[in-house]
Structure 1
Amino acid sequence: MACMQCHYYSSSLKHTVEVNVIVPTPEGNEQITDSNVQKSYCYEKGLPVVYLLHGAFGNYSSFLRFSNIERYVQKHRCVAVMASADNSFYQDMYHGNSYYTFFTKELPAFITNVFPVSKKREDTYIAGFSMGGYGAWYLALSNPDLYSKSASMSGALDIVGLYSEYLKGTMDAPFPLEDIFAEPQNLSGSNFDLFELHKQCMTKGQVPELYQACGTEDFLYSMNQTVKSRLEQVGANLIYEEGSGGHNWDFWDEYIKKVLNWMFNK
């Protein structure tokens, strides 16, 4: 596979950004000899693409540094895109940068024009962990015409509950939510509330398929159980998986393989 680091000026963020892009190579896994090499060239029609979102305190290098994502991407012959969002919850921040605009408009335009990537909805996926788990669902449910499938691992999916726990002091927030949302006290039923966004998608008749995973020892396990229950009650197209593990890369590296298998039906 080819792993490239791109640096370019972002007009929505007003600074130069770093983006990691993994493109599968035609010959598959690294070969020791030239015998029995089956080349697969599928660049002309455009490769499927998955956008991978990091968690709090992470950045564009998180997946590359802590997982085996390069091998997994090569197996599925898809392009993987990783960019930084700081601690923004992937929002156009009230006090800060416009990461929602960057991830849903500017970044896809850059990727589809520079790399051999399909522009079709059915070939476009998004996944993330922790803060990025919320981000993956938020971006997909806000743009159901852009993403066909969205996956959350150990996601902070109930933003209303998160803010409530933050106010009570029972859960630490690594960053002030008041800098992200103009009125965090009014998140319930807003366009930042994943349940509201899912309802809107159902009304419109276009809902991304959702995948949710969480470790049973994760501090967000109870939240994920509640989210699963609420979505099942409204008939969401949701795949849920759990297993032993905490809020760490041992769990995420295992489950990103499951995510990609689900996305590509293997």
Structure 2
Amino acid sequence: MAFLQVNVYSNVLEMEVMLNVILPQQTKKRLGTNTKGATEDIAVLYLLHGMQGNHSVWARRTSIERYVSGMEMAVIMPSTDLGWYTDTTYDMNYWTFISEELPVICHELFPQLTTKREKTFAAGLSMGGYGAMKLGLRHPERFAAVASLSGALALAESVDNLLEIRGKVYWEGIFGPLDEIKGSENDLIYLISQQKIKTAPRFFITCGTEDALYPANTYAMKKMQEQGLMVTFEDGPGEHDWAFWDQWIQRVLAWINE
């Protein structure tokens, strides 16, 4: 595998942004892991970070490069600061960047990446789990499957919990008035209720049973089931930490390839 650290300019954000990218590369090693190369139509996984992370955190805290070795899959790991994958009220359009501009940039720089829905995936942890689900729910025509690890999946149902994490000014800078999140395009539960079964991607939700977000994850899962969506829910012992995410990203990768 090749591991690239990429600096690009975002016209949407009007600033330099950073990506880490894992690309399949054919290698033959005396020691280590041999990998297969691919020159076209490579499957792609957009892997999103949480609140305290950036483009580098998945590679630093897990063995994601080793886990995708031999899968003929590219992994795109962008940085979106603390913007919650949302076009914020403070005029930073992180949603437009991640959903519209980033795929164009990646296909321009790496033309071997697939353009096929059935080989395009998204996943993320915590805030990134929210972002990945948002991608799948708002653009089901682009993603075959999306996965959330310990995701913040019920923001509008738990405003008081948000205020325990950061102040009201921060959250309203992201979403606007907090009482207006519910029923908006930033409310995953609302987006679930609008989803059509025939066009929806597959969904995977996992969360540690000791995680404070566990009730939100089971709630979102039940709403998906009620809507008739294809959702896999799996849990296990664990908290909101990298020990859990390093273990479960391996299960997510296996699920993607099922």
User: Shared fold by TM > 0.5?
Assistant: yes
Aligned length: 256
Deviation digits for residues 228-259 of structure 1 (CA, Å, limit 9, x no counterpart): 22222222210011011100000001110111
In the other structure, the counterpart of 1:89 is 84
Paired residue type of 1:150? V
* Aligned partner of residue 225 in structure 2, secondary structure: helix
Deviation digits for residues 140-198 of structure 1 (CA, Å, limit 9, x no counterpart): 2111111111100000100102324335xxx4237721001123212222111112212
Give the conservation status (yes or no) of the 8 Å contact 2:10–2:17.
Answer: yes
Give the conservation status (yes or no) of the 8 Å contact 2:192–2:223.
Answer: no
Give the conservation status (yes or no) of the 8 Å contact 1:198–1:207.
Answer: no
In the other structure, the counterpart of 2:223 is 230
In the other structure, the counterpart of 2:181 is 187
In the other structure, the counterpart of 2:149 is 153
Give the conservation status (yes or no) of the 8 Å contact 2:36–2:72.
Answer: no
Q: Spell out the pairing of 1:200-219 with structure 2 (5 A cutoff).
A: 200-202=194-196, 205-219=198-212
In the other structure, the counterpart of 1:14 is 14
Structure 2: distance between partners of 1:137 and 1:90: 11
* Aligned partner of residue 251 in structure 1, secondary structure: helix
Structure 2: distance between partners of 1:96 and 1:72: 37
Q: Spell out the pairing of 1:15-30 with structure 2 (5 A cutoff).
A: 15-27=15-27
- Identity over aligned pairs, percent: 36
Q: Does 1:75 align with 2:73?
A: no
User: Structure 1 residue 38: deviation in Å?
Assistant: 7.9
User: Structure 1 residue 39: deviation in Å?
Assistant: 7.2
* Aligned partner of residue 222 in structure 1, secondary structure: helix
Structure 2: distance between partners of 1:50 and 1:9: 21
Q: Does 1:250 align with 2:250?
A: no
User: Structure 1 residue 105: deviation in Å?
Assistant: 1.2
Give the conservation status (yes or no) of the 8 Å contact 1:156–1:162.
Answer: no
Paired residue type of 1:243? G
Consecutive unaligned residues of structure 2, counting only runs of 5 or more, are: none
Structure 1: distance between partners of 2:117 and 2:59: 25
User: Structure 1 residue 139: deviation in Å?
Assistant: 1.6
* Aligned partner of residue 180 in structure 1, secondary structure: helix
In the other structure, the counterpart of 1:139 is 135
In the other structure, the counterpart of 1:57 is 52
Report the TM-score, using the length of structure 2 for normalisation. 0.93
**Root mean square deviation, CA, Å:** 2.0
Consecutive unaligned residues of structure 1, counting only runs of 5 or more, are: none
Deviation digits for residues 88-139 of structure 1 (CA, Å, limit 9, x no counterpart): 1100111141111111111101111221200111111000000111110012
Q: Does 1:109 align with 2:104?
A: yes
* Aligned partner of residue 213 in structure 1, secondary structure: strand
Structure 1: distance between partners of 2:201 and 2:135: 10
In the other structure, the counterpart of 1:32 is 30
Structure 2: distance between partners of 1:161 and 1:84: 27
Structure 2: distance between partners of 1:114 and 1:122: 21
Give the conservation status (yes or no) of the 8 Å contact 2:44–2:119.
Answer: yes
Give the conservation status (yes or no) of the 8 Å contact 1:25–1:74.
Answer: no
* Aligned partner of residue 194 in structure 2, secondary structure: helix
* Aligned partner of residue 217 in structure 1, secondary structure: coil
Deviates more, 1:73-82 or 1:238-247: 73-82
Deviation digits for residues 55-76 of structure 1 (CA, Å, limit 9, x no counterpart): 0021000101100000112132
4+ aligned runs moved over 6 Å, structure 1: none
Report the TM-score, using the length of structure 1 for normalisation. 0.90
Give the conservation status (yes or no) of the 8 Å contact 1:96–1:180.
Answer: no
Structure 1: distance between partners of 2:35 and 2:214: 43
